[in-house]
Copies of this chain bind each other. A is one copy, B any other.
Amino acid sequence: MARAAAKVPATEVGESTERVLQILSESARLFATNGYDGTSMRDIAEACGISKSLLYHHFADKDEIFARIALGSTRELYHFVFDRLPEGATPSERIRAFMVATGEYFQRYRWAWLASTSAFWNDPEQRRQKERLMWRDRYEGLIRTLIQQAIDAGELRPLDVPLAGRLVLSALNWMHRWYKPEQGLPASQIADAYFDMIFRGLKAD
């Protein structure tokens, strides 16, 4: 229940949800451009083309908007990816699915992704910061588990599992620094190509 209430990328899209998503999206963009301190509730209202009173109808203050973006996006990433791991597939195929799903998430909720990985702002509240890190750790734990399972199944060679997990996450996480949504491959296809490179290696057969 609590989870559904704080969900960022809503699945049911009504008039009000659309509005909330617009507010979160514009806020994330403004925070990323001007910083948390450099963004006011007035700026957010103006960017959304709505009155300040309508903005306050949805959110008590800037901090509530921040928390919703930051926590929601990290938790959602985990669930989004987890839900897309095919049951009964081989461990390697599940690693591929993990990567492709992360690319898909990145593509669909790019603003939330930028907000959650952005180094622009740190959450002033220790407790929320911890909760975000907990979800980030679960996400990282998931790829490590998949890699370990693939090694156990003899599909991957014996590896430094945390480091191999970091290699996978680095490729995915760095996309936000260069990816242009309007040109080139969709992020999910890039993630798929990365899987192929990392799994098979770059060297000639």
> In this complex, what residue of B is CB-closest to A194?
B167
Q: Are A203 and B202 in contact (CB under 8 A)?
A: no
Given contacts A119-B119, A173-B174, A178-B166, contact A202 B198 (CB under 8 A): yes
> In this complex, what residue of B is CB-closest to A162?
B184
Bound-complex Cα distance A100 to B178 (A): 23
> In this complex, what residue of B is CB-closest to A202?
B156
Within 8 A of B (CB), among A152-205: 154-157, 159-160, 163-164, 166-167, 169-171, 173-175, 177-178, 190, 193-194, 197-205
Of B120, B155, B171, the residue contacting A119 (CB under 8 A) is B120
Q: Are B167 and A173 in contact (CB under 8 A)?
A: no
Given contacts A197-B164, A198-B197, contact A204 B154 (CB under 8 A): yes
For the A-B complex with A167-B194, A171-B171, A199-B203 known, give 20 more contacts whose Cβ atoms are closer than 8 Å. A35-B35, A37-B38, A92-B203, A119-B119, A147-B202, A155-B204, A156-B202, A157-B202, A163-B193, A163-B194, A166-B171, A170-B170, A170-B173, A170-B175, A173-B174, A173-B177, A197-B201, A199-B201, A199-B202, A201-B203
